[in-house]
């Protein structure tokens, strides 16, 4: 345990990022988990790029089940390092952050495997399981990271929580390349558990704000001595990056949650249907166990 704490303290820093210090140390810093108005946030890509340029950071636009925001960022960005990305919501619960060495591969992956699997609530679970998404991603040069592995709230949107509750088998975890060690929307305890999960399975680590509001951008950064997206991702694989950032406070989380509700209102009925479908097997499992205990 002491060695684990030592490693965590070396590679993950729970503190406000100070860009001047990172630049002096030779790091490029990227917020690896950001949402825009191409999915469930009100942030325009142009505004996100302007903020990133002002802060001196790079971005991975990881909109839910879509690549149009990442494509817009790649086409408009001149002075901001862009990591092509997407956050895919699996049918069996977990969210998967997938980062790409080229936008062309991301676009092909989306068109071949994601676009036709989206449901009527487009930002929620697609009709592919975690295993099926990872199977398809293996055909490409990309990096798959487990987003917020012990969140969110009552929902089973993290791989750690799904394995812990026996919804998914433990051998699914080593199939990931990395774990989101600090997610800005998670409680501190959940992020600590995420770090331990990465340590236990010897996976890489990434960090991001899970930004849905413009002022959230840049509060959690993945830092690497790299100048290109490819070098950046390679360093994550080699465990040569560090994560710096802090979680959102209660007020920030409340604002984010309130805003997100408005983005899902047009899809209320299909969203409820998806949540019901996802949770029905878990409810049935619970009642089977309950019936077994009574006998």
Q: What is the mean pLDDT of residues 208-219?
A: 96
Tokens at 70, concatenated: 């990442």
DSSP code, position 19: H
Q: What angle do CA 99, 103, 105 make, to 5 degrees?
A: 80
Q: Provide, rounded to the nearest whole percent, the portion of the chain with pLDDT above 70.
A: 94
- In angstroms, the CA 84 to CA 276 distance is 32
Burial-class residue 280 by CB neighbours within 10 Å (0-12, 13-18, 19+): exposed
Q: What is the pLDDT of residue 10?
A: 80
Could you give the C-alpha distances from 274 to 23, 126, 159, in angstroms and in order? Answer: 44, 9, 18
Q: What is the pLDDT of residue 68?
A: 98
Tokens at 146, concatenated: 């487990």
Q: Residue 240 sits in which domain range?
A: 2-268
Give tens-digit pLDDT for 95-135.
999 999 999 999 999 999 999 999 999 999 999 999 999 99
Count CB atoms within 10 A of the CB of residue 124.
22
**205 within a domain of the structure (yes/no):** yes
**275 within a domain of the structure (yes/no):** no
**274 within a domain of the structure (yes/no):** no
- In angstroms, the CA 139 to CA 136 distance is 6
- 3-state DSSP of 43-65: CCHHHHHHHHHHHCCEEEECCEC
Q: With a cut of 70, say whether residue 9 has pLDDT above it.
A: no
Do 55 and 30 contact (CB within 8 A), yes or no? no
Minimum mean pLDDT range among 71-75, 208-212, 259-263: 259-263
Please name which of 269, 295, 260 lies closest in space to residue 64, comparing C-alpha atoms. 260
Q: What is the pLDDT of residue 295?
A: 58
Q: What is the pLDDT of residue 194?
A: 96
Do 61 and 73 contact (CB within 8 A), yes or no? yes
User: If pLDDT is split at 50, 70 and 90, which confidence band does 5 have?
Assistant: very low
- Residue appearing with tokens 């991301």: 106
Give tens-digit pLDDT for 31-59.
999 999 999 999 999 999 999 999 999 99
Q: With a cut of 90, say whether residue 215 has pLDDT above it.
A: yes
User: Under DSSP, is residue 97 helix (H, G, I), strand (E, B) or coil?
Assistant: strand
User: If pLDDT is split at 50, 70 and 90, which confidence band does 283 have?
Assistant: confident
Q: What is the pLDDT of residue 128?
A: 98
- In angstroms, the CA 194 to CA 123 distance is 24
Q: What is the pLDDT of residue 71?
A: 97
CATH number reported for the structural domain that contains residue 236 in this entry: 3.20.20.140
**208 within a domain of the structure (yes/no):** yes
**279 within a domain of the structure (yes/no):** no
**289 within a domain of the structure (yes/no):** no
**280 within a domain of the structure (yes/no):** no
Q: With a cut of 60, say whether residue 6 has pLDDT above it.
A: no
Q: What is the mean pLDDT of residues 212-233?
A: 97
**284 within a domain of the structure (yes/no):** no
Q: With a cut of 70, say whether residue 178 has pLDDT above it.
A: yes
Domain count, the chain: 1
Q: What is the pLDDT of residue 98?
A: 98
The sheet carrying 142-146 orders its strands as 85-89, 95-100, 142-146, 178-183, 204-208
Q: With a cut of 60, say whether residue 8 has pLDDT above it.
A: no
Cα 158 → chain centroid = 9
Give tens-digit pLDDT for 179-197.
999 999 999 999 999 999 9
Q: What is the pLDDT of residue 51?
A: 97
Q: Provide, rounded to the nearest whole percent, the portion of the chain with pLDDT above 90.
A: 82
Q: What is the pLDDT of residue 4?
A: 44
H or E element in which residue 285 lies: helix 268-294
Q: What is the mean pLDDT of residues 16-31?
A: 95
């Amino acid at each position: 345990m002491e060695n684990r704490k030592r490693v965590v303290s070396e590679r993950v820093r729970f503190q406000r990022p100070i860009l001047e210090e990172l630049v002096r140390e030779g790091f490029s810093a990227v917020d690896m988990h950001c949402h825009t108005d191409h999915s469930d946030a009100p942030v325009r890509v142009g505004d996100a790029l302007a903020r990133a340029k002002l802060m001196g950071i790079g971005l991975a636009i990881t909109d839910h089940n879509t690549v149009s925001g990442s494509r817009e960022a790649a086409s408009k960005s001149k002075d901001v390092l862009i990591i092509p990305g997407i956050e895919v919501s699996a049918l069996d619960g977990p969210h998967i952050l997938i980062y790409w060495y080229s936008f062309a591969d991301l676009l092909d992956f989306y068109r071949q495997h994601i676009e036709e699997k989206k449901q009527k609530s487009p930002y929620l679970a697609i009709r592919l399981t975690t295993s099926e998404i990872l199977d398809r991603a293996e055909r490409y040069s990309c990096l798959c990271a487990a987003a917020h592995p012990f969140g969110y709230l009552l929902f089973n949107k993290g791989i750690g929580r799904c394995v812990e509750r026996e919804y998914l088998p433990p051998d699914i975890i080593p199939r990931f390349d990395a774990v989101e060690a600090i997610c800005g929307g998670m409680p501190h305890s959940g992020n600590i558990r995420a770090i331990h999960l990465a340590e236990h399975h010897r996976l890489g680590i990434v960090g991001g704000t899970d930004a849905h509001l413009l002022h959230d951008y840049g509060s959690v950064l993945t830092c690497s001595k790299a100048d290109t997206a490819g070098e950046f991702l390679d360093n994550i694989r080699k465990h040569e990056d560090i994560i710096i950032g802090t979680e959102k406070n209660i007020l920030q989380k409340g604002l984010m949650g309130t805003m997100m509700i408005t983005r899902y209102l047009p899809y209320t009925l299909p969203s409820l249907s998806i949540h019901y479908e996802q949770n029905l097997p878990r409810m049935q499992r619970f009642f089977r166990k309950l019936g077994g205990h009574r006998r």
